Amino acid sequence: DAKTTQPNSMESNEEEPVHLPCNHSTISGTDYIHWYRQLPSQGPEYVIHGLTSNVNNRMASLAIAEDRKSSTLILHRATLRDAAVYYCILRDLSNAGNMLTFGGGTRLMVKP
């Protein structure tokens, strides 16, 4: 799976939107963009994924650049519970090993 680059940390105020960027310039045509997050002392938790079009679900939105070399996870109103490490991961469906390759992620801090 291709590599992703994310900022080490970001800070946000509670109730404000948060835009978490991810660069993946070597993405291939069959790579899906997945986002997971890991809250303190918990296992990773799926957030959202997409291929080409922007995606929305109850947790977040995913905005994918037209050339697919970058994407942005959008939390519309950050809460204290959203403080976590967010991981951007590329998954090729030919990855028979079912493996998620977690990089360093972005540690999001939410201030009250």
Partner 1 sequence: EAQVTQNPRYLITVTGKKLTVTCSQNMNHEYMSWYRQDPGLGLRQIYYSMNVEVTDKGDVPEGYKVSRKEKRNFPLILESPSPNQTSLYFCASNRGTGNEQFFGPGTRLTVL
Contact residues: partner 1, CB under 8 A: 32, 34, 36, 41-46, 49, 91, 93, 95-105
Q: What value, to the nearest 5°, has the Cα angle with vertex 46 and ends 42 and 50?
A: 160
Minimum CB separation from partner 1 for residue 98, in Å? 5
* Euclidean distance between CA atoms 99 and 111, whole angstroms: 34
Minimum CB separation from partner 1 for residue 13, in Å? 28
Nearer to partner 1, 14 or 107 (CB): 107
CA distances from 6 to 3, 9, 75, 88 (A): 10, 9, 16, 8
Minimum CB separation from partner 1 for residue 80, in Å? 20
